[in-house]
Chains A and B, each alone.
Chain A
Amino acid sequence: QVQLVESGGGVVQPGRSLRLSCAASGFTFSSFAMHWVRQAPGKGPEWVAAISHDGSNQYFPDSLRGRFTISRDNSKNTLFLHMNSLRAEDTAVYYCAKPANYGDEYIQLWGQGTLVTVSS
């Protein structure tokens, strides 16, 4: 079955960088776009980034473009999120997510998430 396992979260000081990873299994990873979505404590989800199946295109909301980058290694079935200049408001659970078979725009299956806490 499909599994998405995020790692790399933890406590980080403001202004520092962090890289999250997502190990995917149970599907043909290289055939699907992938997403990162985050959820701050007590808040609704917020879409963070998406990447095309081959990594040639990356997408971000305007609010995060320039600080966050997304990449993937299809040979290792792994998705990455690189976060720079972290701020307190970046504190959240970060989920990687796989789209539905019927379209990349449907964020269907989510991992269990990894918690990032930005604090001095």
Chain B
Amino acid sequence: DIQMTQSPSSLSASVGDRVTITCQASQDISNYLNWYQQKPGKAPKLLIYDASNLDTGVPSRFSGGGSGTDFTFTISSLQPEDIATYYCQQYDNLRPLFTFGPGTKVDIK
């Protein structure tokens, strides 16, 4: 099975900072990579699908990129409401199988 890793596991940044999270797959997954935001006590929320497409209503300060095995998730200007844990998730349509990364916790400095 495909394994997903994320780095860093946590970060602390100031309001307005640019924040980047990386996600790596153990083998080529093309662009079958989604990003989720989870705030404390809440269910995850889909932000980005197919590596770079924003889901409906997601602010444009969020973006994603990459393909193959290496992916990035960026918040261009960190806002207080962005405090959350962010997960990447790959999907294999052929099986199907969905695998989440271990998460990156984002805090305000």
Q: Which residues of A contact B (CB under 8 A)?
A: 35, 37, 44-47, 50, 59, 61-62, 95, 100, 102, 105-113
Q: Is B64 an interface residue (CB 8 A)?
A: no
Beta-carbon contact of A110 and B34 below 8 Å: no
Beta-carbon contact of B87 and A45 below 8 Å: yes
Beta-carbon contact of A110 and B44 below 8 Å: yes
Q: Pick the contact of A47 from B46, B93, B99, B102 — CB < 8 Å?
A: B99
Q: For this complex, into which size category does the number of interface residues on chain B fall?
A: 20 to 34
Contacts known (A44-B87, A45-B87, A59-B95); A112 close to B100, Cβ less than 8 A: no
Q: Is B96 an interface residue (CB 8 A)?
A: yes
- Name B58-109 residues within 8 Å CB distance of A: 87, 89, 91, 93, 95-103
Contacts known (A100-B55, A106-B34); A95 close to B103, Cβ less than 8 A: no
CB neighbours of B100 from chain A (8 A): 44-47
Per-residue interface assignment for chain B, residues 39 to 51, with 1 indicating a CB less than 8 Å from any chain A CB and 0 otherwise: 0000111100100
CB neighbours of A113 from chain B (8 A): 43
Query: Which residue of B is nearest A33, CB measured?
Result: B96
Query: Which residue of A is nearest B50, CB measured?
Result: A106
Nearest Cβ in chain A — how far from B9, in angstroms? Answer: 11
Measured between alpha carbons, how far is A108 from B46 in the docked complex, in Å?
A: 5
CB neighbours of B43 from chain A (8 A): 95, 110-113
Those 4 A-B pairs whose CB atoms lie nearest each other, nearest first: A110-B43, A47-B98, A45-B100, A44-B100
Contacts known (A44-B102, A44-B103); A106 close to B46, Cβ less than 8 A: yes
CB neighbours of A35 from chain B (8 A): 98
A-B residue pairs in contact (CB < 8 Å), sample of 30: A37-B98, A44-B87, A44-B101, A44-B102, A44-B103, A45-B36, A45-B89, A45-B100, A46-B100, A47-B97, A47-B98, A47-B99, A50-B96, A59-B95, A59-B97, A61-B1, A61-B97, A62-B1, A100-B55, A102-B49, A105-B32, A105-B96, A105-B98, A106-B46, A107-B34, A107-B89, A108-B46, A109-B46, A110-B43, A113-B43
